[in-house]
Amino acid sequence: MMSSKRITQAFVDRAEALTPQLHKARVYPKRQVEIVANEQAFQGWEVKDAGTAEAFNAGTLRQGDSVVLDFGDHQVGYVTFSIRNVDSNADAPLRLGLVFGEMPCEIGEDFANYDGWLSRSWLQDEIINVDVLPGTVTLPRRYTFRYMKITVLATSIRYHVTFPELYCETVTSADEENVVPLPGDVPDDLRELDRVGIKTLRDCMQTVFEDGPKRDRRLWIGDLRLQALVNYETFRSNDLVKRCLYLFAGMRLEDGQVGACLYEKPHPFVDDIYLYDYSLFFIATLYDYYAATQDRQSLLELWPIAVEQAEIALKRLDERGIVRDDDTWYCFLDWHDDLNKQAGAQAALIYNLKRGLLLARELGDSAAETFMQTACRQATAAAMAHLWDEERQFFVSGEGRQVSWASQIWMALAAVLDNAETAALLDRLMRENPAIGMSTPYLYHHFVEALLECGEREKALAQMRAYWGEMLADGADTFWELYNPADKRLSPYGSNLVNSYCHAWSCTPSYFIRKYFIDREGKYTG
CA-closest candidate to residue 164, choices 136, 143, 141, 145:
136
Considering only residues 216, 295, 334, 369, which one is a binding residue for ligand RAM as defined by CB under 6 A? Answer: 216
Starting at the earlier edge strand, list the strands of the sheet with 261-263.
219-220, 261-263, 269-270
Calpha distance 202→472 (Å, rounded): 17
**223 part of the interface to ligand RAM, by CB under 6 A:** yes
Annotate each residue in 48-67 with x if it binds ligand RAM (CB under 6 A) or - if it does not, as one string: --------------------
Does the protein bind ligand RAM through residue 394 (CB under 6 A)? no
Task: Show contacts with ligand RAM in window 196-215 (CB under 6 A).
Answer: 211
Q: Find, among 460, 338, 349, 486, the residue nearest to 405 by Cα.
A: 338
For position 334 contacting ligand RAM by CB under 6 A, the verdict is no
Residue 481 interacts with ligand RAM (CB under 6 A): yes or no: yes
The answer to whether residues 288 and 294 touch, using CB atoms and an 8 Å cutoff, is: no
* Residue 70 binding ligand RAM, by CB under 6 A: no
CA distance 235 to 204: 12
Binding region for ligand RAM (CB under 6 A) out of 26-34, 217-225, 235-243, 287-295: 217-225
Q: State yes or no: residue 295 binds ligand RAM (CB under 6 A).
A: no
Which lies closer to ligand RAM via its Cβ, residue 394 or residue 505?
505
Q: Give bridge partners of residue 220 from the DSSP assignment.
A: 261
Q: Which is nearer to ligand RAM, 98 or 490 (CB)?
A: 490
Q: Does 365 contact ligand RAM by CB under 6 A?
A: no
Angle between helices 188-204 and 457-473 (to 10 degrees): 70
User: From residue 96, how far is each of 59, 122, 136, 161, 229 by CA, in Å?
Assistant: 16, 19, 14, 11, 43
Q: Are 69 and 137 in contact (CB under 8 A)?
A: no
| Shortest distance (Å) from residue 211 CB to ligand RAM | 4
End-to-end alpha carbon distance in the chain: 55
332 near ligand RAM, judged by CB under 6 A: yes
CB of 92 to ligand RAM, least distance (A): 43
Q: How many other CB atoms are there within 10 angstroms of residue 380's CB atom?
A: 22
Tell the smallest beta-carbon distance from residue 445 to ligand RAM (Å).
12
Give the total residue count for the chain. 526
Q: Please identify, among the stretches 36-44, 71-79, 219-227, 290-298, the one whose residues bind ligand RAM according to the rule CB under 6 A.
A: 219-227
Residues binding ligand RAM: number (CB under 6 A)? 8
CB 218 to ligand RAM: min, Å: 8
Q: Please give the residue ranges that form the binding site for ligand RAM (CB under 6 A).
A: 211, 216, 220, 222-223, 332, 481, 505
